[in-house]
Structure 1
């Protein structure tokens, strides 16, 4: 019995020893398979992650705004002539300025007032003068045509080709909002046509003694429309005599019906909204060759003053110059001696 038991133990021991390597090999194979499977899964996951990340990056690049190259600012004629370097006691930012008493014609302040420069949309003040002095019917309907589209500067307009407005509405928009198509249409439809109209602009300037002034079209988009501060002061004084021009240039805003649309237009000069100002007539202007321009008649400290600012560096600096002049006059420091000293 003991011998039988010993034999059975020996057989079991031998079997266990024989099966151990196979079991170990099996475990190694199983672990290898699991490792390979995990590696494959990780690889797939990593691959998916990379693809997803790449896709997100591409999407971000598509949504990223395109940065346009900066367009160099074209220097004004005044800058090219070296007028920007001129200093003055009031530290004005306009390279040309003139302040005159409308009643006495006394010059209170001047700076490069004889310089002849492009005047941009200040041109429209003469355009308005010619139209109003002709006493044409203001209710006559005028159609905006392709000829009125700006090919000089490519400026935009909300008055589409085919739009119909009265002469009075076109005059209002030209003077208040500096609407170029409106101004051109006024000249184009004048009796005799555009060439006749421009000829009358120059004839009127000569009759007023504006020797430095020349017009080639009625909008001011051409840099060939040129004048001096002295001449423009004369134009402002003359235009002020027309009640219609005073009314339209100082109008804060105006709505017009164009087809089935109602369009709101606003004044280009924010000073007309200010209670600090009593403005009788005004006009703004800008093209790169002219810089920022402003002419106006205003009552300051009981005096009717004509102010001309040409070739100002910024859109708001021309208005700031007007504010500087107003404060100077209101300070009471303006006397004849100061006027002679400051004027040149």
Structure 2
């Protein structure tokens, strides 16, 4: 559906059901994958539903928000090589979380985007919003405008890092966002980079960061895009684009409890799909 008009994309997604017939490789699906996530959605490459569970409930989405942050940043065509310095304005005043990017840390806009997507670095995401033309308020408005343009009718964004519980969406809407984000090569690259070292301080050594999605280390998975998220009120969240036995799929998992549950759900989905080949 890459070149289809948005109206046709929305038409395909509007046909979501709990479990739909599917014309791809997974044609003999039966039973239920027994997922622990409260909301789940799996689509094939054409947008057909392979599996759905509570796809329209509006939920906090935590750091899944950062995919929208990355798209808005790239849409603005800002200089990715421009140096950005972390300031006190980037601190987390909502959750009081810490960061290894101390005040004065300086990296390129590209590296800030990489850290925001790969390791879910909150100050990096906040800095991207702060340095947007017009500042943070303009950035958040652009996030919500982008959501409307994509047809994410039940979504709202409140900050670039996903720290506010008012960052809300549904599995149905996030499937649209994941598909859109997959059209940006840098987002795909950044979100699936296993790890990287950055040098934000002139007189200190490197800071090493790892990807928050442990499935990237699993040789059974071919993942083309990935983002995790967590807040108390959002539970554990995971969205991915992956290829399973040559079949591209989009996966959205929201509001599960237990640090490893989204990864367990992903493996349960994979086994269920492979059993239905």
Structure 1 length-normalised TM: 0.70
Rounded to whole Å, the distance in 1 between the matches of 2:80 and 2:212 is: 23
Q: Deviations over 1:66-91 (max 9, x none)?
A: xxxxxxxxxxxxxxxxxxxxxx9221
Show the counterpart of 1:254. Answer: 196
Show the counterpart of 2:52. Answer: 110
Confirm whether residue 319 of structure 1 aligns to residue 271 of structure 2. no
Show the counterpart of 1:162. Answer: 104
Q: Deviations over 1:277-300 (max 9, x none)?
A: 110101000000100000000001
Which structure shows the bigger proportion of residues in helix conformation? 1
Rounded to whole Å, the distance in 1 between the matches of 2:160 and 2:189 is: 20
SS in 2 for 1:199: helix
**Larger Cα-atom Rg:** 1
Show the counterpart of 2:63. Answer: 121
Confirm whether residue 267 of structure 1 aligns to residue 211 of structure 2. yes
SS in 2 for 1:236: helix
Show the counterpart of 2:42. Answer: 99
Show the counterpart of 1:330. Answer: 274
Q: Is the 1:295–1:309 Cα contact (8 Å) retained in structure 2?
A: yes
Show the counterpart of 1:283. Answer: 227
Rounded to whole Å, the distance in 2 between the matches of 1:277 and 1:134 is: 33
Show the counterpart of 1:228. Answer: 170
Q: Which runs of 4+ in 1 moved over 4 A?
A: none
The farther-off stretch of 122-131 and 253-262 is: 253-262
5+ residue gaps, structure 1: 1-87, 334-344
Rounded to whole Å, the distance in 1 between the matches of 2:104 and 2:237 is: 31
Greater relative CO, 1 or 2 (CA 8 Å, sep 6+):
2
SS in 2 for 1:319: helix
Q: Deviations over 1:134-177 (max 9, x none)?
A: 22111101110101000100111000011111101100000000
Rounded to whole Å, the distance in 2 between the matches of 1:90 and 1:332 is: 11
Show the counterpart of 2:20. Answer: none
Q: Is the 1:176–1:268 Cα contact (8 Å) retained in structure 2?
A: yes
SS in 1 for 2:199: strand
Residue 332 (structure 1) shift: 2.2
5+ residue gaps, structure 2: 1-30
Q: How many aligned residue pairs are there?
A: 245
Confirm whether residue 207 of structure 1 aligns to residue 154 of structure 2. no
Q: Is the 1:309–1:318 Cα contact (8 Å) retained in structure 2?
A: yes
Rounded to whole Å, the distance in 2 between the matches of 1:142 and 1:104 is: 39
Show the counterpart of 1:188. Answer: 130
SS in 2 for 1:94: coil
Q: Is the 1:301–1:329 Cα contact (8 Å) retained in structure 2?
A: no
Aligned-residue CA RMSD in angstroms?
1.0
Q: Deviations over 1:268-320 (max 9, x none)?
A: 00111211111010100000010000000000122110000000111101001
Rounded to whole Å, the distance in 1 between the matches of 2:200 and 2:132 is: 22
